[in-house]
Amino acid sequence: MTDDNRVGPPSVADHRERVGALLPALAPELMQLTGALGSAVAETIAAGRDLPIFDNSQMDGFAVRVADVTGVGAPGSRLTVVGDIAAGSAPDAAVEPGTAIRIMTGAPIPDGADAVVPVEWTDAPRGSSSAPDDVRATVPDGTTVTPGLYIRSVGADVRADETVLERGSVLDARAIGMLAALGYDRVPVFRRPRVVVMATGTELVAPGSRLEPGQIFESNGQMLVAAFAEIGIDAELVAAVSDDADELRRILGQAASRADLIVTSGGVSAGAYDVVKDVLRRGDGMWFGHIAMQPGGPQGAGTIDAAGRAVPVLCLPGNPVSTFVSFELFIRPAVLAMTGRSDLDRAVIRARVAEGFDSVRGKTQIVRAVVRAEPDGVPTVSMLGGHGSHLLTSLARANALMPVPADTVRVEAGDELDCVMLSTLPGGSK
């Protein structure tokens, strides 16, 4: 790679820091477990009890004494069945020498028993509603019956006071199932922000509408709402806001009254109708400028007042690829941090460039790319769609973004670059 060392506008890292500083973590709240999917836990959670709570059977079968099925003269002997324990019931008898108790999966182990033999190892009838009077157990050749066989012991999964979730862990279906098994019905989580997405431009109409001359379908707002949904945020879309300054000012005020974050798309460059910048820069809390990145150079960030409350506003350029790249590089990690998440960044894969290309002097270039697994273990990466910030088709085909450093003016075939993975690498890696 060929480097060019120059001083320029704020870097990608500078703007990421600026955006992150605007979005502090939200206060924790106690949420019902059934509604907590996708939230990050606000404190380290320890088990309040052992799991399993009691010794229980891993199989449908018979609770026995090991000596009665493996001792001298034991194999083939008949055991008197003195009880029947279903899951959810308590034993009403103990296993004495020469006896057994029929037991179902999950049922408590009775006193005196130190193993469970599966029903398949016995001559007991399958599926009978009542236990037999006696049973013969035949241990398969090569199998050793030892104390604890097919018994799930107290605390074998987790012990009381053992940490089960670290602060910042995301609650998925598995974590919620574990907490429910431990008896939790509510869990402390970081509140998710109320986000309002505004797509601006008089030329925009809703998808499915009839297009008049000069109009286009609004896609940035749809894309941003979907991008927020991918990280567990249910964003509200206010689409097709016109370039009328008074209307924009009114809608911004309404959005600020109910939002923790407002994200706008369009109207932040240097055009005659870039009304977002014109309206917002009249306040003291907003910054507008260009950062050393392509696509996505024009950016805005700051706060507006809503009844004494400073509401963060992030303003993205209107070209679709610029909007998406800006979300990925700046908004996604900042909002994840805002919600208490610890996994802020996507997976990165080092890949070998398939074909050389020139890069933009003095700017970090964010290249839409496809990363492919290769037999030698070093993935390859190919650029998609050129440098245009309006090329949505190439963005939809990409499985990665490939940042080219600002001091690089030429990337040669065979060079290796880090690739930010947007989806699964063919072959199974992320």
Residues 91 and 236 in one domain: no
pLDDT of residue 2 exceeding 70, the answer is no
d(CA 362, CA 384): 21
For residues 239 and 207, the answer to whether their CB atoms sit within 8 Å is: no
CATH number, position 171: 3.90.105.10
Say if 158 falls within a structural domain.
no
pLDDT, one tens digit per residue, over 314-343 is 999 999 999 999 999 999 999 999 999 988
Say if 180 falls within a structural domain.
yes
For residues 231 and 332, the answer to whether their CB atoms sit within 8 Å is: yes
pLDDT, one tens digit per residue, over 230-284 is 999 999 999 878 888 899 999 999 999 999 999 999 988 766 567 898 899 877 7
For β-strands 216-217 and 204-205, DSSP reports them as parallel
Residues 206 and 292 in one domain: yes
Report percent pLDDT > 90 for the chain.
75
For residues 245 and 279, the answer to whether their CB atoms sit within 8 Å is: yes
Judge residue 106's burial from the number of C-beta atoms within 10 Å of its C-beta, 0-12 exposed, 13-18 middle, 19 or more buried: middle
Output the CA angle 42-166-229, nearest 5 degrees.
Answer: 60
Structural tokens at position 360: 């933009």
Q: How far apart are the first and last CA of the chain?
A: 26
d(CA 258, CA 311): 9
- How many domains, the chain? 4
pLDDT, one tens digit per residue, over 180-211 is 999 999 999 999 999 999 998 888 888 889 99
The per-residue pLDDT for 194 is 96
The per-residue pLDDT for 388 is 52
Question: Pick from 174, 190, 206: which residue ends a domain?
Answer: 190
Span 302-315, mean pLDDT?
94
The per-residue pLDDT for 5 is 42
Any residues with CB less than 8 A from the CB of 275 and at least 6 apart, and which? 200, 243, 244, 245, 248, 267
pLDDT, one tens digit per residue, over 69-99 is 886 556 667 999 999 999 999 999 999 999 9
d(CA 393, CA 37): 32
The per-residue pLDDT for 143 is 85
Report percent pLDDT > 70 for the chain.
93
- Count other Cβ atoms within 10 Å, centred on residue 429: 12
Question: Pick from 152, 176, 211: which residue ends a domain?
Answer: 152
Domain range spanning residue 37?
28-49+166-190
Helices (H), 206-354: 220-230, 245-256, 275-280, 320-326, 332-338
CATH number, position 391: 2.40.340.10
pLDDT of residue 304 exceeding 50, the answer is yes
Residues 73 and 129 in one domain: yes
Residues 204 and 321 in one domain: yes
Block residue for tokens 């088709």:
393
Instruction: Determine which helix (DSSP H) or strand (DSSP E) holds 19, and give its type and residue range.
Output: helix 12-22
pLDDT of residue 8 exceeding 80, the answer is no
The per-residue pLDDT for 75 is 64
For residues 315 and 277, the answer to whether their CB atoms sit within 8 Å is: yes
Residues 389 and 245 in one domain: no
CATH number, position 254: 3.40.980.10
